[in-house]
Amino acid sequence: MNNKNNNENVLNNAPSRDFKYTKKLNEQLNKARAKAKSALNLAHILDLKKPLAEKALQEVNLNQGQLYTQLTQADLKRFAQKVIALKKDFTGRKIQGGITPNAIIARSRQIDIKRCQDEIHTVQAIRLEKDGVIHFRTNASKKYGATHHIVSVQFLNFQAALTAEKITNDFLNAYMKGAVKFDCDCGRHRFWYRYIATVGGFAYGTLETAFPKVRNPELTGLACKHVIRVMHTLARNPSALRQAVKMHIARYRKDPNQVAKTFTKKQVQQHTHKATDKAIRKPNERMLREVSLFIKEKAKQMSLSTREKAMAKLGFMLARGEITAKDFHAASKKLLWK
């Protein structure tokens, strides 16, 4: 087989090597992050008394570089409102402290879904840890020099699974679709989405308190292409990953204080899934159908403020990439003129 140029086949390193590398890289980046004077620790600044808050903001602006717009107190207020709105949305949907793989995909931007569909096709379970954590390795797009990425997933039903009934396939299927916390070592997750995961209480490992003021000030989207691939695969529970999950639970049932296990190069082959499906999520249809139906039934008796709320919801869906601009215009027209 001549597949040298195929980026699916670059997962040649021993899992332990890649895991150590990622761990070290994360430590370095976290250190740099702690020193970064341009980081906007929004909640912290909002806690400060006015003169101190002004000073802190000045410091952020000074260190941000001149290419960026200078932030004002009004920007901070706007950012804070975004965070409050996002928190409300999470609580309203009962997403707190954990989120299911399907909900992660539903809240992801269409652009990340597309990148995942086009570029990321291999998932491997590489390391089993206590507290319900499995580290997965995916291929990288190779555009930025990386050969792989590591997505860490903490299964929140782990403790219950250790004491539950026999581990059947049905049991595993439900478990793999259950609530998780997650993390990815890529820049997209770090700079766009880790803050959102922290707001929702489902960030695994490193938390992020710096508001993504430059890259994602609207706080839209949720998962990078690597996380999307892992979550999509988990939700479909293919046998290669199901076996790893089963092994994970069985290992800690026997001894909850068991040490972590990293698979060898040879072992990991058995826990490798190659995704062949194309469409992870077609843009929006289900949600748009729901909203359209809602508008159709309700628009006539809706008060003006309810219509405004519905418009805001549409705007939110558009920003999250769940509906296209065309869909947005069609739906909002109906809403405004019925």
User: Where does this chain bind Zn ion (CB under 5 A)?
Assistant: 149, 184, 186, 189, 224, 226
CB of 171 to Zn ion, least distance (A): 29
Shortest gap between Cβ of 184 and Zn ion (angstroms)?
Answer: 3
What secondary structure letter does DSSP report for 36? -
Closest distance between Zn ion and the C-beta of residue 125, in Å?
Answer: 16
Query: How near is the Cβ of 324 to Zn ion at its closest, in Å?
Result: 25
Residue closer to Zn ion by CB (options 229, 281) is 229
Tokens of 164: 């539950």
Q: Which is nearer to Zn ion, 104 or 224 (CB)?
A: 224
Query: Quick one: residue 140, left, alpha or beta (phi over 0 = left, psi -120 to 50 = alpha)?
Result: beta
Q: Which tokens go with 321? A: 């990439």
Minimal distance, residue 193 CB to Zn ion, in Å: 9
Nearer to Zn ion, 107 or 247 (CB): 107
- In the block, tokens 């508001």 appear at 211
CB of 308 to Zn ion, least distance (A): 36
Comparing CA positions, the residue from 106, 20, 151 lying closest to residue 284 is: 106
Whole-angstrom Cα distance, residue 204 to residue 306? Answer: 37
> CA neighbours within 13 Å on the CB side: how many for 77?
4
Strand, coil or helix: 322: coil
Alpha carbons 120 and 114: distance in angstroms, whole number: 10
Smaller CB separation from Zn ion, 41 or 206: 206
The Cα–Cα gap between 296 and 308 comes to 15
Cβ 242 to Zn ion, closest distance in Å?
23
Both structure tokens of 46: 């909002």
Output 82 or 115, the one with its CB closest to Zn ion: 115
Look-up: residue for tokens 């003169």? 51
CB 245 within 8 A of CB 230: no
Q: What six digits make up the tokens of 155?
A: 């299964």
For Zn ion, give the closer residue by CB, 149 or 271: 149
Q: State which residue, 95 or 230, has the beta carbon closest to Zn ion.
A: 230
Amino acid 91 reads: T
